[in-house]
Amino acid sequence: MANTILVGAQWGDEGKGKIIDVLTESADVVVRYAGGNNAGHTVIVNGRKSVLHLIPSGILRKNKLCVIGNGVVCDPLGLVHEMEGLAKHGIKVTPKNFVLSETAHVVLPYHRELDSQREVIKGKNKIGTTKRGIGPAYGDKAARVGLRIADLVDSAKLKEKLSARIKENNIVLKSLGAKPLSFKKVFAEYDKAGRFLKPFVQNTVVLLHHAIRRGEDILFEGAQGTFLDIDHGTYPFVTSSNTTAGGACTGSGVPPHRMDRVVGVMKAYTTRVGEGPLPTENQEISDLLHGMGREFGATTGRARRCGWFDSVATRHATMVNGIDDLAVTNLDGLDTVETIKVCIAYRHGKKRYDYVPNDAAILAQCEPVYAEFEGWRTPTDKCKSWKQLPPKARAYLKAIAELTGAKLYIASVGPGREQTIFV
């Protein structure tokens, strides 16, 4: 399969987990390179649903090595909880199939508390974060005051560093009117998690380069989406990491010339959870999808905002990520729609945009210019091949791939593994 970076081409929740699970069949190693347990990747195998937050979605296949790379911020309590959850479903996570980078940063309770407090202070300008402490954890990393996994699994280091960080953060928390943290309690919990995780911790950069030398194929599992990227997203309504393809290199230690291709995952429509501009947002399609019980967040349960497919955004994503191949998911979500709209440009006053403007305030004022497609109005969820898809659905898929500027590779017509059409 060669080394493949898989990214979300929209605002997250594109169905990356499902596509990762499908592509893992022909990979040896799956690596998460950015984000933390703000992600929620849904995989449905034989009707059973698993939602992965930190552990790569490749874990559901046997004999695959799953790696959390250095670019991830890891909440150890969340990770242990996730491992226990998988064990209950008979999926054993052992040092043979799961490895954690010693240089990944640790999410601590003061990060979560600060995340929540900052949202309160922002009031109506809030980001709508997942409150998992992601922003403050990456903030500490950049400020060089973060704890890394290597510190977590060494009790003496953890004690020293955590005590200093709790002292400083308690001053901030108190000034915000929040309850200070007890060092003793936090240390006990995190030291316990550190002892549990120690056997999984390795130098993952060296490990990945050894895998490459053995000729193994690596799949890089992106989290979030292009427009949640800290540099390329709709700042400040973004997450705090580089979710785009470049993040796969910095977040894993595998250099650009070892990457062979980029797969972009996008829904056949658009969704976003949290605040910030969404030019094609539309009540009719929101009501339709929510009415079908779809489009509720896998991490926070919040209803996702829904809209028509935005090819200005996905074309921009192709440019920023270098997307070669496209996986279009949730085609079946449009099965009942009479007339399907696709945004082909934005209008802002007299200006017409064919790329996504950097200023979120301008983007919020952009009016979509739509092209219309006739709906196929036939169920697609049982279609097994390109030929079985209704001609109007094929035309729609071809058109959105062409507008996006990459090759149509996969069409997904349901959440299950088997509901996947290779084009």
SS3 338: coil
Pairing of the two strands 65-68 and 29-32: parallel
Scanning residues 246 to 265, which ones bind ligand IMO (CB under 6 A)? Answer: none
- Minimal distance, residue 295 CB to ligand GDP, in Å: 8
- Minimal distance, residue 416 CB to ligand GDP, in Å: 8
Report the partner that residue 286 touches, choosing among ligand GDP, ligand IMO, Mg ion, none (CB closer than 5 to 8 A by kind). Answer: none
The crossing angle, in degrees rounded to 10, of helices 109-122 and 134-142 is: 110
- Give how far Cα 258 sits from Cα of 210, 366, 369, Å: 13, 39, 39
Scanning residues 20 to 49, which ones bind ligand IMO (CB under 6 A)? Answer: 38-41
Q: Is 317 in the site for ligand IMO (CB under 6 A)?
A: no
- Give how far Cα 185 sits from Cα of 134, 188, 191, Å: 22, 5, 10
Report the partner that residue 60 touches, choosing among ligand GDP, Mg ion, ligand IMO, none (CB closer than 5 to 8 A by kind). Answer: none
| Residue 412 phi, psi dihedral angles, 5° rounding | -110, 130
Residue 165 or 304 having the CB closest to ligand GDP: 304
Cβ atoms of 155 and 126 closer than 8 Å: no
Report the partner that residue 18 touches, choosing among ligand IMO, ligand GDP, Mg ion, none (CB closer than 5 to 8 A by kind). Answer: ligand GDP
Burial class (CB in 10 A: 0-12, 13-18, 19+), 91: middle
Cβ atoms of 412 and 15 closer than 8 Å: yes
Total residues in contact with ligand IMO, by rule CB under 6 A = 23
Residue 161 or 272 having the CB closest to ligand IMO: 272
Residue 52 or 343 having the CB closest to ligand GDP: 52
Report the partner that residue 129 touches, choosing among ligand IMO, Mg ion, ligand GDP, none (CB closer than 5 to 8 A by kind). Answer: ligand IMO
Residue 180 or 390 having the CB closest to ligand GDP: 390
Catalytic machinery residues: 13, 41
- Minimal distance, residue 327 CB to ligand IMO, in Å: 14
Cβ atoms of 22 and 420 closer than 8 Å: yes
Residues forming contacts to Mg ion in the complex (CB under 5 A) are: 13, 40, 298
Q: How many angstroms separate the CA atoms of 173 and 136, rounded?
A: 13
- Minimal distance, residue 275 CB to ligand IMO, in Å: 6
Residue 241 or 380 having the CB closest to ligand IMO: 241
Residue 17 or 135 having the CB closest to Mg ion: 17
What is the DSSP code string of 91-121? ----TTTEEEETTSEEP-HHHHHHHHHHHHH
- Residue whose CB is nearest to ligand IMO in the complex, by number: 274
Residues whose CB falls within 8 Å of the CB of residue 75, separated by 6 or more in sequence, listed in order: 36, 37, 54, 106, 107, 132, 133
SS3 146: coil
Scanning residues 118 to 157, which ones bind ligand IMO (CB under 6 A)? Answer: 127-130, 132, 134-135
Binding-site string for ligand IMO from residue 197 to residue 236, where x marks contact by CB under 6 A and - marks none: --------------------------xxx--x--------
Query: Contact positions toward ligand IMO, by CB under 6 A?
Result: 8, 12-13, 38-41, 127-130, 132, 134-135, 223-225, 228, 239-240, 273-274, 298
